[in-house]
Chains A and B, each alone.
Chain A
Amino acid sequence: MDDDLDEVFKALSDRSRRLVLDKLREQPGPTLGELCTHLDMSRQAGSKHIGILEAAGLVVTVWHGRQKLHYLNPVPIHEIRRRWISKYEQSRLDALATLKTALEEGHHE
């Protein structure tokens, strides 16, 4: 199912959809209404973005009573990572990212 990645990259190629994923990572399990309120997005736009993210497997929904809750599913992104980054490189990349964050935070002060 290699070409599933087309859907993943298409879904990730939009800033609003990346913000949806950021929000879901920060606060798992909102309803569509809650998510749109947090992101200051119309329900219509939110619903469309969620549909694209769901089709790509990046968002999964779970019924909790009568509410449909939304979750980030990191598995497709994990598969991308496994494909191009080895565990060995991971620790060095983490170190670089930490350094970048520290330097850039210092820069703003």
Chain B
Amino acid sequence: MSEPRFVYVTYIRTTRERLWQALTTPEFSRQYWWGREVESDFAVGSPIRYTYDGGAELDIAGTILAADPPERLSYTFADPGYRERDERPSRVTFLVEEAKDFDGVVRLTVTHDDFVPGSSSPEGVSQGWPDILASLKTLLETGRPLPYA
């Protein structure tokens, strides 16, 4: 296994089950991931897709590597840029844990790794996740996502 390339941690005042639901249902993902709807049966080996416009436009595609609710979700990650460059996909892992020392707070760790050496995509990734995580946190804590603008 290669060394992780990006690791992001955020603490969210919610439950692990609710966070898992946010990661795995289109009703939630659409709100914090700016319109992207997740679809998958979350069985290992099954496809996972993030689409816009009711499935009309495919954004991110991958394969489920691990899905152990409410703790761990991992899938291969190919955005349109990868497909244009004909690279193999990278990998995203979400780890959902109870925060130590804080009742009612969940620690979410997002690891994005397994990039093709020299790939230009890591820079884009490094800018995307903090925005998505901030929006997810706000949605779970306040019931409303952050505005995109």
Contact = CB atoms under 8 A, between A and B. Distances in A.
Interface in B107-143: 109, 111, 126, 130-131, 133-134
Q: Which size bracket describes the interface of A in this complex?
A: 10 to 19
A71 B7 CA distance: 6
A60 B146 CA distance: 25
Contacts of A73: 7-9
Interface residues of B, number: 22
B111 A62 contact: yes
Chain B at the A interface: mostly helix, strand, loop or mixed? mixed
B6 A28 contact: yes
A44 to B, nearest CB: 25
Determine chain A's interface SS by DSSP, over half rule.
mixed
Contacts of B126: 74
Contact of B9 (A75, A79, A86, A88): A75
Interface of B: 1, 3-11, 13, 105, 109, 111, 126, 130-131, 133-134, 146, 148-149
